[in-house]
Each structure stands twice: as structure tokens, then as C-alpha cells.
Homo-oligomer: A and B are copies of this chain.
Amino acid sequence: MNITLLVIAKTQDERIKTLCREYSERIGHYVNFSIEVLSLPKKKKFANREQQREAEGKLILSFVHKSDTLILLDELGKEFSSPEFSRWIEKQQNQSVKHLVFVIGGPYGVSKSVRQSARQTLALSKMTFSHQMVRLIFVEQLYRAYTIIRGESYHH
């Protein structure tokens, strides 16, 4: 199984970037994992949030293949404990999912088309985190999930 985290580009704090990179490297010991940063043209201006969401949604879907399993990360989604999330990941593997693509929407959420294309919506918390924090929290949880699957000591 391959796992990708799709994010819409924003100026990123260098510390969060390097922390995410370190967790990604650790995840890489268990599964093929990458973070794909998508960018809309910088000069593009939007009349409103809805237009921005639509443009971001098109961009996101252009990177998702028909055979991919798209999972939306959104605070209104289903919540898991860390052990439950690890079992969910394991289940995807057992069901021969080839490419699990997690997507984090922009600051104003995701378009309807992205929401409809998603197989499932998961929440890392009921709380709203900054775009950068969501990336960091996700990679820490994915790393944790694999240490749980392998019975390693990271998770207490």
C-alpha cells in the first residue's frame, strides 16, 4: 500500500516542515509515504471563498486517480482513538487498498466534489487546528499507528 497526504500549499513554518519531514522518514520504514504539496497559481485572485474552494477542489481531484482511495480529513468526520486508527489502517491494507490518499482542505474547507469523491471523512479532533498543525498531527498519528500495528513501544 502507498499512502499520500495531499495538502494545499501555504507558507510554512520551517520548524513544522522539518518535524513533518522527520515523521515522514520514520513512516517510510513501514510504508511508502509522501506528502504532496499542491499550489494554485500565486497570482490567482478569487472573488469569494466558494470560488477558492472550487479551484482547490479541482486541483486536488486532478491528482487523485480513479483507483485511489480518497480520505478527507475534517473535524466533522468520524473520530478514532489511536489504536482504532491503527486498526483502520491495517484493515485498508488487508482489503488490498493500493493507494490511500488523505486530503486536508484549505482554510475554508473543501469543495462539494472533493467531499463526494471521498470514501470516508476522518477527524483528528473535534477542534480546528491550523493548516500546519494538522499536517504535523497527521504524520505523528500515522507514525504512531504503524508502531501500534508492529507492537513497538512508542505508544503507551
Q: Give A residues with C-beta under 8 Å from B.
A: 13, 15-16, 18-19, 75, 79-82, 85, 107-108, 124-130, 133, 136-137, 140-141, 144, 155-156
User: For A124, what are the chain B residues with a Cβ–Cβ distance below 8 Å?
Assistant: 125, 127
User: Smallest Cβ distance from A26 to chain B, in angstroms?
Assistant: 12
Question: How many copies of the shown chain assemble into the complex?
Answer: 2
Task: Point out the residue from B15, B80, B107, B133 that lies within 8 Å of A140, measured CB to CB.
Answer: B133
User: Smallest Cβ distance from A89 to chain B, in angstroms?
Assistant: 13
User: For A16, what are the chain B residues with a Cβ–Cβ distance below 8 Å?
Assistant: 15, 19
User: For A15, what are the chain B residues with a Cβ–Cβ distance below 8 Å?
Assistant: 15-16, 18-19
A127 in contact with B125 (CB, 8 Å): yes
Task: Point out the residue from B81, B130, B156 that lies within 8 Å of A127, measured CB to CB.
Answer: B81
- Known A-B contacts A15-B18, A19-B13; A140 and B129 likewise in contact (beta carbons under 8 Å): yes
A19 to B128, CA, bound (A): 18
